[in-house]
C-alpha cells in the first residue's frame, strides 16, 4: 500500500474545545498554524468531540487561518451516538445505517468547512453493523468526492476482515503504547501489515502521565536514565519507542501545547538502539521475554 502522506505526527483535537482547553477561535487558529509550521499537517477529529461541538469550532478557526486546505489533511470519525445536550438520546449506541453515515459525513463537511474529508474512520465496531450497507453508502460518498479514504478505529482483525470483503480499508486507529503493547503480540499489527492497512495509535504515551501504577514505576526507572542517554524528555522517548516498530505507527498526539508538538516532532529523529527498546518493553511487562 502506498501510505497516504499524513504527517508523521498527527495532531489530535479531542481536547481543543469543551472537553479540555476550551480554546477560543483565535487560540485554535494559532495552534493549527504553529502545528503546520512544525510539519504537523494532519488533524484528527471525531464528530462527538466536545459533545458534537469541536469540529465546528475548529472549522471556524481554520477558515480564519492562512492555511491552504490542500496543505493539510482532515481525519474524522462517525458511528457513535452519544447522549449529550446536542443529542438527548436515551442511551449511547452505535449506528452504521446509511442515513447516519451520510448525516455524519455531511455534518462534518459543514462543520470543518471543507468539501472533502481525507480519511473517515468508523469510530467503534457495532455488533449490529452490516458490511454491505456500510460499503454501499461509503462508495457513494467516495464517488461524490466527499471522502477520500475509509478506515476504522478500535476494530478487531475479524471485524476488519468482515468489512474488507465489501469495501477497501486503509487505516486502523487503535490504542497502542508502551503501556498498552497488546497489539504487538496479539496479531493485530501483523494482520494490518499483511493486509496493507496503516496503523495509527491513540493515547501513544499510554498511562505514563495519567496513572501512578507499578507498571509506570518500573518504566520510569528505565526511562529516566535513557532520557539522559538520548538527551530527550520522557514523552519523546515513549514516542520514539512506538515509532521504532516496523508497522510505521503514526501517533495521534493530543496535546494543546505548541511546544509539546515541537517536542513530538523532535522525537521522530531519535535513533533508539535495539537493546534499549527491549529494556523498556521488559519494564512495562514486568517480566523478561520468554
Angle 144-149-153 from CA coordinates, rounded to 5° = 130
Separation of alpha carbons 123 and 186, rounded Å: 21
Please give the backbone phi and psi of residue 152, each rounded to the nearest 5 degrees, phi first. Answer: -135, 170
pLDDT at 1 (0 to 100): 38
Decide if 230 is catalytic.
no
The mean pLDDT value of the chain amounts to 97
Using alpha carbons only, how large is the chain's radius of gyration in Å? 19
Residue 2 has pLDDT above 90, yes or no: no
pLDDT at 4 (0 to 100): 62
Separation of alpha carbons 154 and 124, rounded Å: 6
Q: Tell me the per-residue pLDDT of 191-212, one tens digit each, with 9 for 90 and over.
A: 999 999 999 999 999 999 999 9
Separation of alpha carbons 127 and 79, rounded Å: 12
Q: Tell me the per-residue pLDDT of 45-97, one tens digit each, with 9 for 90 and over.
A: 999 999 999 999 999 999 999 999 999 999 999 999 999 999 999 999 999 99
CA 186 to chain CA mean position, Å? 20
Average of per-residue pLDDT across 234-260: 98
**For residue 175, how many other CB atoms are within 10 A of its CB?**
15
pLDDT at 34 (0 to 100): 98
Residue 3 has pLDDT above 70, yes or no: no
Separation of alpha carbons 33 and 77, rounded Å: 23
Is the model's pTM score more than 0.95? yes
The residue extents of the domains of the chain are 10-211+246-270
Alpha-carbon torsion angle 9, 223, 234, 236, nearest 10:
-20
Residue 181 has pLDDT above 60, yes or no: yes
Separation of alpha carbons 133 and 151, rounded Å: 16
User: 10-211+246-270, what's its fold?
Assistant: TIM Barrel (3.20.20)
Separation of alpha carbons 180 and 186, rounded Å: 12
- Is the C-alpha dihedral spanning 261, 266, 268, 270 positive or negative? negative
The active-site residue, picked from 4, 49, 208, 230, is: 49
Average of per-residue pLDDT across 156-177: 97
Amino acid at each position: 500500500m502506498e501510505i497516504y502522506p499524513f504527517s508523521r505526527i498527527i495532531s489530535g483535537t479531542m481536547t481543543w474545545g469543551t472537553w479540555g482547553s476550551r480554546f477560543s477561535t483565535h487560540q485554535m487558529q494559532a495552534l493549527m498554524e504553529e502545528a503546520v509550521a512544525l510539519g504537523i499537517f494532519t488533524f484528527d477529529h471525531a464528530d462527538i468531540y466536545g459533545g458534537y461541538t469541536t469540529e465546528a469550532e475548529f472549522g471556524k478557526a481554520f477558515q480564519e487561518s492562512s492555511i491552504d486546505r490542500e496543505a493539510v489533511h482532515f481525519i474524522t470519525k462517525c458511528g457513535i451516538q452519544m447522549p449529550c445536550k446536542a443529542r438527548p438520546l436515551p442511551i449511547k449506541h452505535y449506528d452504521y445505517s446509511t442515513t447516519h453515515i451520510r448525516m455524519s459525513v455531511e455534518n462534518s463537511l459543514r462543520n470543518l468547512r471543507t468539501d472533502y474529508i481525507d480519511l473517515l474512520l468508523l469510530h467503534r465496531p457495532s455488533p449490529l453493523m452490516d458490511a454491505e450497507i456500510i460499503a454501499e453508502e461509503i462508495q457513494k460518498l467516495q464517488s461524490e468526492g466527499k471522502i477520500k479514504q475509509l478506515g476504522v478505529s478500535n476494530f478487531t482483525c475479524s471485524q476488519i476482515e468482515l468489512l474488507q470483503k465489501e469495501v477497501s480499508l486503509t487505516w486502523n486507529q487503535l490504542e497502542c503504547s508502551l503501556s498498552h503493547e497488546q497489539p504487538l503480540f496479539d496479531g493485530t499489527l501483523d494482520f494490518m501489515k499483511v493486509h496493507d492497512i496503516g496503523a495509527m495509535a491513540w493515547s501513544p504515551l499510554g498511562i505514563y502521565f495519567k496513572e501512578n501504577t507499578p507498571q509506570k514505576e518500573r518504566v520510569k526507572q528505565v526511562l529516566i536514565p535513557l532520557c539522559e542517554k538520548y538527551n530527550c524528555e520522557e514523552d519523546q522517548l515513549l514516542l520514539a519507542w512506538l515509532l521504532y516498530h516496523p508497522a510505521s505507527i503514526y501517533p495521534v498526539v493530543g496535546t494543546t501545547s505548541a511546544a509539546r508538538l515541537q517536542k513530538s516532532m523532535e522525537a521522530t529523529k531519535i535513533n533508539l538502539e535495539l537493546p534499549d527498546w527491549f529494556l523498556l518493553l521488559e519494564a512495562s511487562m514486568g517480566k523478561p521475554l520468554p
